[in-house]
Structure formats: C-alpha cells, structure tokens
Chains A and B, each alone.
Chain A
Amino acid sequence: MFSSFMMDTWTVATIAAMVAGVVGFFIVMRGSAFVADAVPQGAFAGAAGASLIGINTLIGLGVFALGGALGIGWLGRRSRHDVATALALVVMLGLGALFLSMSTEYAPEIYALLFGEVLGVSASEVAPVAVIGAACIGAIIVLYRPLLLSSVLPELGEARGVRSHRIEMCFLVVVALATSMALPVVGALLIFSLMIGPPAAARSFTDNPLLAMILSVVIALVTVWSAIAASFLWNWPVGFFVGSLGAVSYAIGRGWAWWRSTRAVRGGPRQALAW
C-alpha cells in the first residue's frame, strides 16, 4: 500500500483533502453547494475536450473550471444564483457531450475521470498540484476576513466596504482552482462531496470558524486516507468511499448537534440552538 508508485497518490490526495477542507468550509458557510457540484462536473467536459485536441487534460480541466466559475459569477449578477449555476453547468456538459461524441476515447477512461482513479496519479502531476494547492490556501488566507464577513453577514460586509461581488468572483476562482487540482484523484463527481461532507460535519461540532476549518481539514484527511486505503484493499472505486464517508461524517455531526441541543434544552435555554 505504501510502495513507491502509491506515494504520489498519497501526496496528491493529502494536498487535495487539505484544500477541499479549507475551501469547502467557505462553500458550506456561503451555501454554494451547487457551485461546488457544478464546477467539477463542468470541468470534466474540459478534460474531454483536451483529450480530443490532444493536450494535457489538466489544462482542459483548468480552463473549463475557470470559465465555468466566471460564467456562474457573470450570469449570477443578473439572475438567480441557482439558475445561473444550472445554466452554466448544462452548457459545459453539452459541450462535453459534443467532445465525447467526436473523440474516440473508450468509456473506461471517461469513467476514471468522472469517478476518480487512485492509481491514475503520475509523478509529474505532484508538482503542479502542490503549487495550485498552495495558491488556493494562500488566497483563502488573504481573503479570510472579508470572505467570512460576506458569508455570514453580507449586509454588514457591504457596510464595511467589502465588495461582495468581487469577493464572490475571487472565491469562485479559488473553487475552480481547487477543483481542477483535486479532480484527477477523487473524480469530477465526488470532489464536491469532499468539499461538502467534512466541512458540514465540522460546523456542527463547533461554532468557532477557525476551529471548524481545522476540524474540517482533519475530517477531510481522515476521509481521503481511509477511502484510499479501503479502495486499495478491496479494489472498489475510491469515489464510493469518499461519498459514503462524507455522508456518514455529516450524519455523526448532525447527531452530535442534536444530542447537544437536547442536553442544552434540559440544562437551560442559554446554549441551545447552535444551528
């Protein structure tokens, strides 16, 4: 399991989990789960396009993820956010269907892109993933205060001079980067459950944002590591383990919050209603 060819997978997966934990925390705070689903799925179309014209799939992923994120931001200015997201997503997927029909790739390769492939990580991918991952976390650190303010209290943020649309655009770019980086490992359809499950679970354990973020990274790391180990042992797809562990951790988080709130109600109303 820890032989040399697996080391690249472990490295990339660890970086991906850390970034997903940090970025996902804000996705959950801002309630933009749909964006986190749409950007990776749309980016998959970019990978199909890249393989059609014969360039590195990571470039295709990046271009489509960025284009999709900016498109969501641009459309979202003028209409409802979920409608904008859905439209951007289907346009990208429509292009993906076109690329797929033109290319001669076999289904298993597409399957690997959609659902992730543990052994699909090569040594040459480690460096770009590390750089992009560091860029994402750096961007979140720089944006931390305005992002938090505009996520929790958008009106107060506006009053304090936080340009919420600009922040939104920056955040979407970060999501796009994080997506295109993590996609080859856990797959287009499941990078987002890594961005949703662990942070949502972490939020039900604590109200402190910084603590929740750290907890979310920890849960994401545990999820990814056990998913890869389980996938290596039983040869089942890694996406299955990531998806179900995400749901399980969320269920545990909700159970904990519920238990705490019933106890708090009995003890006194002061600390009830963490959610």
Chain B
Amino acid sequence: MTHLLRSIVEPGFLGNQPVRVALLVGGLVAVVSGIVGTFTVLRGQAFAGHALADVGATGGSGAFLVGINPLFGFVGIGIAAAGVMELIGIRRPRGRDLATGIVLGAGLGLAALFLYLDATFSNTTGATITVLFGSMFVISSSLVPMIAALSLLALAVVLVLYRQLLLSSVSSDLAFARGVPVRLTGVLYLLALAVAVSLSALTIGAILSTALLVGPAATALRLTARPGMAMILSALIGLAATWLGVLLSFDSFYWPPRQHGWPVSFFVVSLIFVFYLMAQPLGRRSGSRTETSGNRAGRTACSRAS
C-alpha cells in the first residue's frame, strides 16, 4: 500500500516549496471561484467571468510597463472593466454579452499595445506568456497574504448578499417586488466577481481562472438542485481538480517527451471537463430531462424564498 502510494505521490512532493504554495493558493482560489462561480452560472454570466480574466492581462501588462505591483494592475483593471460593462450594459442578456464583448475587445487591444511596449522597452517577451497562461508553480509567496485577503473579501460579499443574489438571479421581477435592490446587487456581484477572477487570473493564469469559475459550478448544479449545496459541492470539486492537477503535473516530470513536466493548467482543465461529463448521467437520474439544473436550482430557491 505504501509502495503504491509512493508511486503515485512522488517522494518530496509535499516538501517542495513551490508545490506547497501552489497547493495552498490554488486551493484557496479554487474554493473562492467555486462559490462565486455558482452564481456566475446561475446568472448566465460566464462570458463576463471569462472576459474579466482576459482583461486582467491588460492590467498585468500595464503594471509591468509602469513598474508597479502586477496585483494592483490586475485588480484595478478588473474593477474598471466591470464598471464599464455595467455602465454600457443593457438590461437584456443579449445586450449584456455585447457590452462584455466590446469591453473585452478594447481591453485586449490595450493589452496588445502594452505587451508590445513591454517587449520593446524592457525586453520581457516572457511577460506575454506569463500573463496569459500563468503558472501555479511561479507564484511569489510574498503576494500570498494580499491575495488571500482580497479573495476572502470577494467571498464575503457574495455570502452576505446570498439571499438577494439568489432571488434576483432567478427572477429579477420577483426580487424587485420583494424590495431587493436588483441593480445594486448586480453591480456588487460583478465587482466581487471582478476581484475574484482577476486574482485567480494573476495567480494561476486566465485559462484556469475561467475553468475553475465555470466548470465546478456547472458540474455541481447538475448534481443538486439546492443552491447552498451546489456551492459547497462546487468548491469541493474545484479543490479536488486543482490538487489532483498539481499532483499529476508534479508526477509528469518523468513522462515523455522530455524532462520538462506537463503544465498544471492542462491537467486541471481536463479533470474539470471529465467531472462535468461524468455529472451528466448522474444529474439526469435525479432530475427531469428537459429542464436544465440551473433552472431547477432557481425554482427550488424561489419556492423557498417565498
């Protein structure tokens, strides 16, 4: 048994400083993203979540350019982008996606410029790839307390607004009738989302940020119709995928084609996708075929709130 365990978990796995930071920060980000992401999926804001992560690249490259801490670049641009999205966003979901797209396009254009200037003036072409793909194994541990504090803040906003968010996600009319400030709730949620997403984009890269935000939450919402339960499940699924991904990536150092190690993001994303596909038959057994589980979750929440 110990032998088997040792062949899966390489000796030295837990003693390795970058691995410990990756497990710690990756786990934290996975939990926060899982919980915040449940509402992202319920509200149909996956595009906004992804766009905020991508726009983080603008802030990151801009911060490289002026030489400030990338953390402020990421979070600042995330909040600014969320604000602009809300400002030009139209009430209908289609219009909202359009507003997100416009902001994303402009943001990426700026990112292209910043990265170009970065590469020209400070000769850091590697910055492009760092910003876009990130890596869990190169988190500087001095940033950890700041990241933890900000993501817990985002988490707190979502938990405090839980009831209002749930109600306005399911039916904004009903929420309005019950005296919930729908628009303010939406703005606050978008800001919390921006902080959570830009932090995860900074630490683990834009790909993983989107994957952890949407994947576990969508999986959880297929498995259960109860929103609170879905949040817990989603956090657990995200955590499992992240830690397994780190482990596999550490193991893969000895895999072909050369002694390099496969990227963490590949493993985490694959695991999340497999979980999602596996949840399909499981979720179908517990619910009706035609309704998506998001709707079911909403309905349950609705009947409970009223």
Q: Which residues of A contact B (CB under 8 A)?
A: 28, 30-34, 36-38, 78-80, 82-83, 85-87, 89-91, 93-95, 97-98, 100-102, 106-108, 110-111, 114-116, 187, 189-190, 192-193, 196-197, 200, 236-237, 239-244, 246-247, 250, 254, 275
> Which of the segments B12-20, B158-166, B175-183, B260-268 contacts the partner chain?
B260-268
Q: Do B262 and A101 touch (CB < 8 A)?
A: yes
Chain B positions within 8 Å of A197 at CB level: 102, 105
Whether B112 pairs with A87 at a CB distance below 8 angstroms is: no
Q: For residue B63, give the distance in angstroms from its CB to the closest CB of chain A.
A: 17
B214 touches A87 (CB 8 A): yes
- Determine which of A31, A91, A97, A241 lies in contact with B97 in the assembled complex, contact meaning CB atoms within 8 Å: A31
Cα(A219)–Cα(B40), bound, Å: 33
Chain B residues, Cβ within 8 Å of A37 = 47, 50-51, 101, 104
CA distance A30 to B94 in the complex (A): 8
Interface residues of B in 86-112 (CB under 8 A from A): 88, 90, 93-95, 97-98, 100-112
Take A85-B46, A97-B263 as given contacts and tell me if A196 and B101 are in contact as well, using a CB distance cutoff of 8 Å.
yes
Residues from chain B with Cβ under 8 Å of A114 in the complex: 128, 132
Which chain B residues border A242 with CB–CB below 8 Å?
109
Cβ B133 vs Cβ A97 within 8 A: yes
Say yes or no: A241-B105 contact (C-beta < 8 A), given A83-B218, A86-B210: no
B299 to chain A, nearest CB (A): 15
Q: Which of B105, B112, B269 contacts A247 (CB 8 A)?
A: B105
A87–B98 CA distance with the chains assembled, in angstroms: 20
A100 and B103 CA atoms in complex are apart in Å by 28
Residue from B110, B215, B273 within 8 A of A240 (CB atoms): B110
Query: At the interface, yes or no: B119 with Cβ under 8 Å from chain A?
Result: yes
| Chain B contacts for A240, CB-based, 8 A | 109-110, 112-113, 116
Main secondary structure of the interface of A (DSSP, over half): helix
Query: Which residue of chain B lies nearest to A199 when distances are taken between CB atoms in the complex?
Result: B98
Q: Does B44 contact A (CB under 8 A)?
A: yes
Q: How many residues of B contact A (CB 8 A)?
A: 64
* Bound CA span A193–B108, Å: 9
Which residues does chain A contribute within 8 Å of B260, judged by CB atoms? 101-102
Are the CB atoms of A192 and B105 closer together than 8 Å? yes
Which residues of chain B come closer than 8 Å to A241, judged between CB atoms? 109
Q: Mark B201-225, 1 if CB is under 8 A from A, else 0.
A: 0000001101101110010001000
User: Does B145 count as interface, using CB distance less than 8 angstroms?
Assistant: no
> Is B276 an interface position by the 8 A CB rule?
yes
Contact B262 A98 (CB under 8 A): yes
Interchain CB contact under 8 A, B46 and A243: no
Interface residue B141 (Cβ < 8 Å from any Cβ of A): no
Residues of B107-145 whose CB lies within 8 A of A = 107-113, 115-116, 119, 125-126, 128-129, 132-133
Q: Whole-angstrom distance from the CB of B244 to the nearest CB of chain A?
A: 14
**A193 adjacent to B119 (CB under 8 Å):** no
When A193-B101, A243-B109 are in contact, do A111 and B115 touch as well, CB less than 8 Å? yes
Chain A residue at smallest Cβ distance from B94: A31
Residue of A nearest to B273 (CB): A91
Query: Bound complex: CA of A213 vs CA of B257, how far in Å?
Result: 49
Q: Which of A87, A89, A111, A193 is B218 in contact with, Cβ under 8 Å?
A: A87
Q: Is the CB of A94 within 8 A of B106?
A: no
B56 within 8 A of A: no
